[in-house]
Amino acid sequence: MAATESYPGELKYHKEHDWARIEGDEAVLGITWFAQDSLGELVHYEPPNQGDTISKDSPYGEVESVKAVSDVIAPLSGEVVEVNQKVVDEPETVNADPYGDGWLVRIRLTDPTEADALLGVEAYKQVVAES
């Protein structure tokens, strides 16, 4: 049920254990394998509303396991164009597939150059190693 540890090379990472997949002027956001593993099986996802503006480095939602709750930090700024309803309905999707079906939101980027400040996979693996 739980995925095995992985950090795809094509993603950009934030040190608070969030990832971004940039697709043109949009990006898909989620939490990393390390984040879901630390929390344990997710039982709730509190998403932002479609149309909300989210800001880089600030929380845009919450994920919960039975005994822990965590803010989800936006790696990039933008307007929420889609919330992953599958994760709202079945939060454990994040545990099973954190980079695929377990994505959290899709946003339209406010400032695509913000991505330059995000971590590449090797730098992020270093963050994980030190956590």
Partner 1 sequence: MRLIFEKSQPGRRGGELPRPDVPPAEVPADLRRSRPPRLPELAEPEILRHFTELSTRNFGIDTGFYPLGSCTMKYNPRVNERLVMLPGFRDLHPYQDEDGSQGALELMWRLQEALIEISGLHACSLQPAAGSQGELTGLMLMRAYFADRGEADQRDTIVTADTAHGTNPASVTMAGYKLAKVETDARGNVDVAHLREMVNERTAGLMLTNPSTLGLFDEHIEEIATIFHEVGALLYYDGANLNAVCGISRPGDMGFDIVHINLHKTFSQPHGGGGPGGGPIVVRETLEPYLPGPAVTKVGDAYRLDHDRPKSIGKVRGYTGPFGVFVRSYAYIRSYGPGLREMSETAVLNANYLLARLKDAYDLPFDRLCMHEFVLSARSLKREHGISALDVAKRLMDYGFHPPTIYFPLVVPEALMIEPTETEAKETLDAFVDAMIAIAREAEDDPEVIKGAPHGRPVRRLDEVKAAKRAVVKYGFEDHVGLAGDPAEPRQLEAQKGA
Partner 2 sequence: MSYLSLTERDREEMLAAVGVASVDELFRDIPASVRFGRELDLPPALGEQELTRHLEELAARNVDTAQELSFLGAGIYDHYVPAIVDAVLQRGELLTAYTPYQPEMSQGVLQAIFEYQTAVCELTGMDVSNASGYDGTTVAADACFVAKHATGRAKVVVTEATNPQVRQVVKTYAPGFGLEIVEVPHRGGVTNPADVRRAAADAACVIFQQPNFFGCLEPAPDLAAAANAGGAIAVAHVDLVSLGVLEAPGAYGCGMAIGEGQSAGNYQSFAGPHYGFLAARDEFIRRMPGRIVGETIDTAGERGYVLTLQTREQHIRREKATSNITTNQTLLALAGLVYLSWLGPQGIRELGETCMALGEYAKERLSDAGLELVFPERTTFKEFAVRVGRNAQEAVRSARARGVHPGYALGRDYEGLDDALLIAVTERRSPEDVDRLVDALAAP
Contacts to partner 2 by CB under 8 A: 44, 46, 64-69
Residue 1: is it exposed, middle or buried by C-beta count within 10 angstroms (0-12/13-18/19+)?
exposed
Tokens 């608070």 correspond to what residue? 16
Tokens of 7: 């950090």
Helices in 53-102 by DSSP H: which ranges?
A: 85-89, 93-96
Identify the DSSP state of 34: H
Interface with partner 1 (CB under 8 A), residue from 49, 67, 129, 130: 67
Residue 9 near partner 1 by CB under 8 A? no
Interface with partner 1 (CB under 8 A), residue from 30, 91, 98, 102: 91
Which lies closer to partner 1 via its Cβ, residue 38 or residue 53? Answer: 38
- Minimal distance, residue 67 CB to partner 1, in Å: 8
Separation CA 20–CA 123 (nearest Å): 15
Residue 47 near partner 1 by CB under 8 A? no
* Options 16-24, 64-72, 103-111, 118-126: segment touching partner 1 (CB under 8 A): 64-72
Which lies closer to partner 1 via its Cβ, residue 8 or residue 40? Answer: 40
- 3-state secondary structure at position 123: helix
